[in-house]
Amino acid sequence: MEIKAKAKYIKMSPRKVRLVADVIRGAAVARALEQLKFINKKASLPIKKLLDSGIANAVNNYELDKDNLYVKEIRVDEGPVLKRWQPKAHGRATPIRKRMSHINLILAEIKISGKKKARKEKLEAPVRLEGRAKEAEGLKAGEKKEKQQNVPPILKDEKGKEIVDPRSEGSRKHTKIEGGSHGFMKKVFRRKSG
């Protein structure tokens, strides 16, 4: 099983990041973390964060063992380049290219455990749409579906209290204009004849 993690728009040149990425490629996760701890390069920090993120993905989403993982692939791609100018002598200017990197990490298992699917958690929605279900049951086979779409859903919170949708309070089910028909809104929407 492969676990993926990405870090995008790292503000370091890909050439400098690849020096660190080459050290941990193919290494076990524990060994890679030790290597990153003692490498004297600034690129080791974002790569360490990315490796921790990949480990967390494997442990939390797929319930894999941390000690059974290794760095299968780590790729450093070039991101967008910010172009700036440096003033020089005799009125000249030289370009400065501030490069960015995208890092793609793939972790895999050393010994295959056989787990293939991600852990699924059952989540309940805080708001239930009870009105739609009742209306759908009440519709006959010959009726048009347009009637069903024009009816706003009845929303209820956890305590059973109805939630009113403020968007359908205005005329013809449009949003009601704040401020009423006097003051600023009257001036904005006043028609001029002639």
Looking at residue 11, which CATH number applies to its domain?
A: 3.90.470.10
Please tell me whether residues 176 and 148 are part of one structural domain: yes
Please tell me whether residues 59 and 23 are part of one structural domain: yes
pTM over 0.85: no
The token pair that represents 114 in the structure block: 């056989």
**Which of helix, strand or coil describes residue 35?**
helix
Is residue 71 included in any domain, yes or no? yes
In sequence order, the β-bridge partners of residue 82 are 98
CA distance 179 to 43: 55
Rounded (5°) CA angle 117-120-125: 155
Please tell me whether residues 39 and 11 are part of one structural domain: yes
Please tell me whether residues 88 and 158 are part of one structural domain: no
pLDDT in tens, the chain (194 residues): 899 999 999 999 999 999 999 999 999 999 999 999 999 999 999 999 999 999 999 999 999 999 999 999 999 999 999 999 999 999 999 999 999 999 999 999 999 887 776 666 666 666 555 655 555 566 555 555 554 455 556 667 777 777 766 666 666 666 655 555 555 555 555 556 54
Range(s) of the domain holding residue 40 = 2-109
CA distance 20 to 35: 9
Is residue 117 included in any domain, yes or no? no
Please tell me whether residues 66 and 7 are part of one structural domain: yes
